[in-house]
Amino acid sequence: MRLKWDQGVASRGKLTGRSLPMCDAPLVPKPSYEDRLTAPSYSLYLSGPRSPESLRLFAWFRENVAHRLAWINGPQNPWRQLILPLAESSETIFFSILALAAHDLASQYPVNDPWYERFRNISDTHLNNALALLAQELGNLSCLSSSQTGSTTTFSLTLGSVLILCNSDLLKAQTSEWRIHLLAAREIISAGANHSSLQHPLFRVQRFLLQEFYSTSVWTHLTTFSQVDDILVDAPTSNEDAVLADFVRIIHHITKIERVKSRSRASNLAPPAAFEVQTIYAQIESAKSHSLCVNQTIEYWSDSERGDFQLVVWMYYYATLIYGTQALSELSTTEKDKNDACGHILDYLQRLFQTPNGLRFTQDLIWPLFIAGTELRGDRAAQKIIENGFKTVIHISRTLDRSRVLSFLKSWWNLAGDDFVSWIDFARGRPSQCNFLIV
């Protein structure tokens, strides 16, 4: 590998925004995004000639976006390994990727910055192209019979495009435009149910896309407090593309039971069977064991990353235990048990942030940060750890809806008195303020 050292750019002082003079080199302006982005041979994914700008956006997605979309950014990152190659056969996928990449670039700048406006305009252009093609694909999909060949491929490409655009709109999650894409994904899945299952080599692509839809839907239901449905797809189990899927499935199950219990109380009906509730402890233990086993089979960039992600698994384990106790009174847990669980989460968080590669998993930490935070009323020192954790995640993995999640926690911490048993009751009484996404 041939390496070349370039001049650094000063971040402060009179040379701010200019390259530091090295070997009497002349001062030059801070490089534009064209200079900062590289365009290696990603054209192997593409079906035809592309503009340099498109290639650079494609490269930005591969190198700077894909790792924040996956649970684990290893050599087998599914957004790189499975989704990027689909751009070779789908213009809709390609334009969706460009729209997300440009939107991600825009999110690096303040909204009043000219570069923000430029990248948002670029993103909107590609978004409009993708939406126009999606409209055609949705029409074609609805006309296909279950026996027609090619229908399953169309299903995956269309679903993939919608989920990419959903992730793009999550960058401005407070506008809730991403929910429209999630509803569209639901309709696509419903239409695809009438067609035959995808066969190799697209089977893994289909499974991954359904897992993405399922996970996002579960996080959505956490703060909507409407009836929680079965989300149209079978609950996934942990695998190399979604190592924490077992916990997501249990979180969904707990949420459904909590909503049934709440409606039962409001209607003076009998609560759900206690036996079903008591099985959740065993399910959480099984999820922890399975996720730790899957973690041992995943390919990482380094061995130390495997140990770091093991800490994430344990954080999800304790967070899910706490959530089960909060949502279901039948899960009897002492205050000491909950305090111990919160203590473990805070300990693992600080250990993770102190490791060389621990910051690679910041995109996975909002759930345990939030749940631990809901148990820390009155503990200002621990609250500060949670707040700093949120700020670190936002700095590394973009804002999404995380500022609103933190704002809710602060409102919960500052609430006077003990009128609410848990954050769930507090949020349920404020639907317009608490419709945020904990992801």
The predicted pLDDT at position 23 comes to 35
> Is there a contact between 95 and 158 (Cβ–Cβ < 8 Å)?
no
Give the C-alpha separation, 248 to 238, whole Å.
9
- pTM as predicted: 0.86
What are 331's two structure tokens?
A: 């899960």
* Amino acid code (one letter) for 235: A
Torsion of the alpha carbons at 188, 225, 378 and 406, rounded to the nearest 10: 30
The predicted pLDDT at position 127 comes to 96
Classify residue 245 as exposed, middle or buried by CB count within 10 Å of its CB (0-12, 13-18, 19+).
Answer: buried
Give the C-alpha separation, 205 to 209, whole Å.
6
Nearest CA to 192 out of 170, 162, 226 is that of 162
Q: Can you give the residue ranges of every domain in the chain?
A: 50-232
Give the C-alpha separation, 199 to 210, whole Å.
15
pLDDT in tens, 219-277: 999 998 877 777 878 888 999 999 999 999 999 999 998 998 888 776 766 665 665 66
How many CA atoms lie less than 13 Å away from 272 in the CB half-sphere? 19
What are 355's two structure tokens?
A: 């490791």
Tell me, letter by letter, the H, E, C secondary structure of the chain.
CCCCCCCCECCCCCCCCEECCCCCCCCCECCCHHHHCCCCCHHHHCCCCCCHHHHHHHHHHHHHHHHHHCCCCCCCCHHHHHHHHHHHCCHHHHHHHHHHHHHHHHCCCCCCCHHHHHHHHHHHHHHHHHHHHHHHHHHHHHHCCCCCCCHHHHHHHHHHHHHHHHHHHHHHHHHCCHHHHHHHHHHHHHHHCCCCCCCCCCHHHHHHHHHHHHHHHHHHHCCCCCCCCCCCCCCCCCECCECCHHHHHHHHHHHHHHHHHHHHHHHCCCCCCHHHHHHHHHHHHHHHHHHHHHHHHCCCCCHHHHHHHHHHHHHHHHHHHHHHHHHCCCCCCCHHHHHHHHHHHHHHHHHHHHCCCHHHHHHHCHHHHHHHHHCCCCCHHHHHHHHHHHHHHHHHHCCCCHHHHHHHHHHHHCCCCCCCCCHHHHHHCCCCCCCCCCC
**pLDDT beneath 50, residues of the chain:** 1-45, 149, 198-200
The predicted pLDDT at position 390 comes to 97
What are 302's two structure tokens?
A: 């380094």
Give the C-alpha separation, 49 to 361, whole Å.
35
The predicted pLDDT at position 331 comes to 63
List b or e across 99-126, with b for residues whose CB sees 16 or more CB atoms inside 10 angstroms: bbbbbbbbbeeeeeeeebeebbebbeeb
